[in-house]
Structure 1
Amino acid sequence: MRIFLETERLVLRAFTEADADRLLELDNDPAVMRFINGGRPTSREVIRDETLPRLLHDHPCIGTRGYWAAEEKATGTFLGWFAFRPLSEDSPIVVELGYRLTTSAWGAGYATEGARALIRKGFTDLGVDRVTANTMTVNSRSRRVMEKAGLSYVRSFTEDWPDVIEGSEHGDVAYELTRTEWERQALR
C-alpha cells in the first residue's frame, strides 16, 4: 500500500485494481451519486474500463497520482476518495480538488480534513499555485467543505451536460484558493 498522505484520522493511499469492488459500491449509492449522475447505477465495466484507469493515472508534473483512496486511520475502513489532480499534464500550477465519500463518512469532517491536508501538501510540496473546485449550485454540503477548506466562491456557470439531473437547472459553481491567499489565511 503506497501511502501518499496521513492526517489525524485519515490515510490517503494509491488506488489499486483490488479497489474495484469498493468503487463499485461507492458509485452505486444513489445518495453519493446524486450530484454526479442523478443517482443512476454504475456498471462493473465502467469501473474497470473508465474509473480505475483514471484513478490509477500518474501525473508526471507532480510526480504522483491525482486520486487517492481514503481510509479511516484507526480501522482501515474505506471511506471513498479524494482528487487533487493537475488540470494540465504539463504543469502542477493549477489543480482540481474533489472528494467522494461514503454516506457513512458524511458529517464527520473527513472531507474538510482531507481537503485541507491536500491543499497544504500542494502548496508546500507539489508546486501548486492555485486550487480549484466545482460542484452543482444546489450541492450545499460540498460547497461548505470547499469554504471550510479555505476556498472562495469565484463564479456560477452553466454547461450542457449529456444527462439532466435534478438541480442542474441552477447551474454549477466554481471555487478557488491561491497560494498567496492560503499563506495569508495561515497568518491569521
Structure 2
Amino acid sequence: MSPWCGRPPPLSWGRAARPRPSRPSACGGRCARDRERTASAGRPCRLLPPDARPAVCAGRLRWALTRGRQETAVREARYTPAGGRVGARTVVLRTPRSRVTTWIPEDVDELHRLHSDPVVMSHMTKGVQDREQTRARITTWIAEHRVRGWSRWRVEDDSGTFMGRAGFGEAHGTGHRELGYLLAPARWGAGYASELVAALVRWHFEHLDPARERELRAYVVPGNEASRRVLEKNGFRLVGASPQAPDQLVYACGSDPAV
C-alpha cells in the first residue's frame, strides 16, 4: 500500500510519473497503513475525531478472525460500540438522553433514596425498602450481570446524574424475561420511560437468552395507567391478569416493533 495516500507520488526515474488515485481515508487523508497498525494493537484509531472513533476497528476484527477467534471478534464488533465504560461501570445500552450501566456497591445511597420514597414505590408490590434491602439488591444485580449478562441496571443521564433503574428480571418463574423500570419523580412525564422501554425491547431481541422464552413480559398493577401507556406504545399487548400474581396485569411483546 502506497505511503502517499491523498498526495501525488514522487517522480520516478526511467518512466513518466502517473498520478495514482487516492483512496478515501476516514483519518483525513493519512495512510491506511497507520490505521491498520493502530488497529492491530487493539486500540481505536487515534487519528479519527473522538465522536467517530469505533470501539473495535476493522483491522482488529481482521486480526481476530485470522487467529481463529471468530466468536470473540463478532461479539466485540457487535456490542462494544454501544457499550464502553463510565468510570467503574460498564455501559450496557444508550438512549437519546440516557445511559444504562452496571452497578457498583457505592450506588447504594442513590438507589436507597429511590427505594425509600413512598410515592415512587406506590406501584411496586414490595413497597419501600430499607438501606440493607437496597444493598442486597445491588449485590444480587451485580452478580446476575456477571453470570448471565443481564439484570436490572442503573440509569443515568448524559451528565452522569442518577435517574433510576431499568432492565430485566425473572418473570414469576414462567421462563420469560420480565422488563421493568423505576425512575425518580423529577424524570416523570418527560418521555424518558418510553425511550428506555424502546431501547430495552431492542436489547432483549438482540441478546436472546437460550434458557428463556423469546417473548418478553412486563407486569403492571391495574392503577398504573402511565406505565400501561408506555408499554402499549412500545409494542406490548395486554394478556390479562397474572395467574402467579393476581394483583398484576401481564403484558407481552413477541417482537421488536422497531424492526
TM-score for the superposition, normalised by structure 1: 0.78
CA positional deviation for 1:171: 2.8
Q: Does 1:113 align with 2:216?
A: no
Match of 2:162 in 1: 78
Match of 2:239 in 1: 154
CA positional deviation for 1:86: 5.0
Distance 1:16 1:121, change over 3 A: same
Match of 1:178 in 2: 254
> Which structure has the greater CA radius of gyration?
2
Q: Does 1:143 align with 2:228?
A: yes
- In structure 2, stretches of 5+ residues that fail to align are 1-88
- In structure 1, stretches of 5+ residues that fail to align are 161-169
CA distance in 1, matches of 2:205, 2:116: 34
Q: Does 1:130 align with 2:215?
A: yes
The answer (yes or no) to whether the contact 1:30–1:38 under 8 Å persists in 2 is no
Q: Secondary structure at the residue paired with 1:29?
A: coil
The answer (yes or no) to whether the contact 1:56–1:65 under 8 Å persists in 2 is no
CA distance in 2, matches of 1:4, 1:38: 26
Match of 1:12 in 2: 100
Distance 1:154 1:37, change over 3 A: closer
CA positional deviation for 1:135: 1.2
Equivalent in 130, 136, 139 of residue 53 of structure 1: 139
Instruction: Give the fraction of aligned pairs with identical amino acids, expressed as a percent.
Output: 31
The answer (yes or no) to whether the contact 1:137–1:156 under 8 Å persists in 2 is no
CA distance in 1, matches of 2:125, 2:170: 23
CA distance in 2, matches of 1:94, 1:136: 18
Q: Secondary structure at the residue paired with 1:99?
A: strand
Q: Secondary structure at the residue paired with 1:65?
A: coil
CA distance in 1, matches of 2:109, 2:237: 35
The answer (yes or no) to whether the contact 2:167–2:180 under 8 Å persists in 1 is yes
Q: Secondary structure at the residue paired with 1:68?
A: strand
Match of 1:26 in 2: 114
TM-score for the superposition, normalised by structure 2: 0.58
CA distance in 1, matches of 2:191, 2:111: 21
Distance 1:60 1:69, change over 3 A: closer
Instruction: After superposition, give the CA deviation of every residue in 1:9-57 in whole Å (9 maximum; x if it has no partner).
Output: 11000011111001110011111011115864x22121123x2223223
CA distance in 1, matches of 2:165, 2:235: 19
The answer (yes or no) to whether the contact 2:236–2:253 under 8 Å persists in 1 is yes
CA distance in 2, matches of 1:186, 1:56: 29
The answer (yes or no) to whether the contact 2:123–2:221 under 8 Å persists in 1 is yes
CA distance in 1, matches of 2:168, 2:98: 16
Aligned length: 168
CA positional deviation for 1:60: 7.3
